Structure 1
């Protein structure tokens, strides 16, 4: 037999479990999302015209990878996004201290949709063009391309040959790389 106290406890428990603080609605309603950069601490795109999609470019600030979000009417092709990355930061992004380790680099990307791997072809570099920021350059490419829904990993080639490139921890890898391989270099937004 259920006592009055037990019934009251059962009723209170049911009320607590079934109420989450959101009133029930008979029909769905539209949700208006904010039209601002996804990383709220950045004002780099505040002067850019509002668009329908956000594209992420991984730039460099204080020897760390930093994401910058740009709005566009439509998602650019992977090569277009890579070209924007090579072109470097906008004046507004530069004012926030963002730079690039890719200036003057020639890259071509192809995406294999079945496996969601992007192949980046790197042109021949000059003999005496060793860079101290090479790991940041590869990190920028990998983090930018893998921010796309259609690319899960990136491999690097030169003249069709697979390259070993540095990961964030300094080890070399010829495996397809993901943003997680550079997590130690990703700085605060």
Structure 2
């Protein structure tokens, strides 16, 4: 074989070998790309007269149940959270729905930046006697991520990220989604 034919072939092989993806020495954290991702939980049903669903996750037995209330317009995340903290209405209570929030998670407020809702939490009193934090945090995450403008929920206390229990019992300081509490939701 002539050198003229061999040289372009070797050059092509050298270029292909050099075009690989570099390998890191250690694993690295991959950041979630910005923007909302469609999930089965997201709902923004609007009827003919402009009313929309305001979604809530309440507790039944040891699980979370999604309930939608028809409202004239979806409120901001802080107002939505205040509605959740008020608990189920009389009709919802007759259906066996309850809340794990009072006495478990002391919420100071919520803000929305992009598609991440951040909930500020105060220290709950020691006298509450409640131990269902997973359901309480699940109610907040599940309710807010049902909104079309919220993909995940982060928690902080005193301006610092707060470790929050997920349904599997693990703790996370990263923003959470409804998928983190899916085991608590009936199919």
Q: With structure 1 as the length reference, what TM-score do the two structures score?
A: 0.69
- 1:15-71 C-alpha deviation (Å, 9 max, x unpaired): xxxxxxxxxxxxxxxxxx996xxxxxxxxxxxxxx8610111000001100011100
Q: Counterpart in 1 of 2:62? A: 63
34 and 77 in structure 1: CA distance in 2 versus 1, 3 angstrom threshold: closer
Higher deviation after alignment, 52-61 or 127-136? 127-136
How far did 1:103 drift?
A: 1.9
SS of equivalent residue, structure 1 residue 106: strand
Matched residue pairs, number? 140
Structure 2 gaps, min length 5: 1-44
For 1:154, the equivalent position in structure 2 comes to 153
Q: Secondary structure at the match of 1:108?
A: strand
Paired with 2:55 and 2:87, the residues of 1 have a C-alpha distance of 13
Give the 4+ runs in structure 1 shifted more than 6 A. none
Preserved CA contact (<8 Å) 1:66 1:187? yes
In structure 2, the residue matched to 1:46 is none
Equivalence for 2:143:
144
1:70-114 deviations in whole A, cap 9, x for unaligned? 00011111111101110000000000000000125333101102x
| CA-atom RMSD in angstroms | 1.9
Contact 1:120 1:156 in 2 (8 A): yes
**Structure 1 SS opposite 2:126:** coil
For 1:150 and 1:184, how far apart are their aligned partners in 2?
23
Aligned partners of 1:161, 1:129: CA distance in 2, in Å?
Answer: 23
Tell me the equivalent position of 1:109.
Answer: 110
Secondary structure, counterpart of 1:110 in structure 2: strand
1:89-104 correspondence to structure 2 within 5 Å: 89-104=88-103
Q: Distance in 1 between matches of 2:68 and 2:174?
A: 28
Q: Which segments of 5 or more consecutive residues in structure 1 lack a partner in the other structure?
A: 1-32, 36-49
Q: 1:119 to 1:130 in 2, by over 3 A?
A: farther
CA-CA distance at 1:127 after TM superposition: 3.2
1:13-52 correspondence runs (5 A): 52=51
TM value normalised by structure 2: 0.70
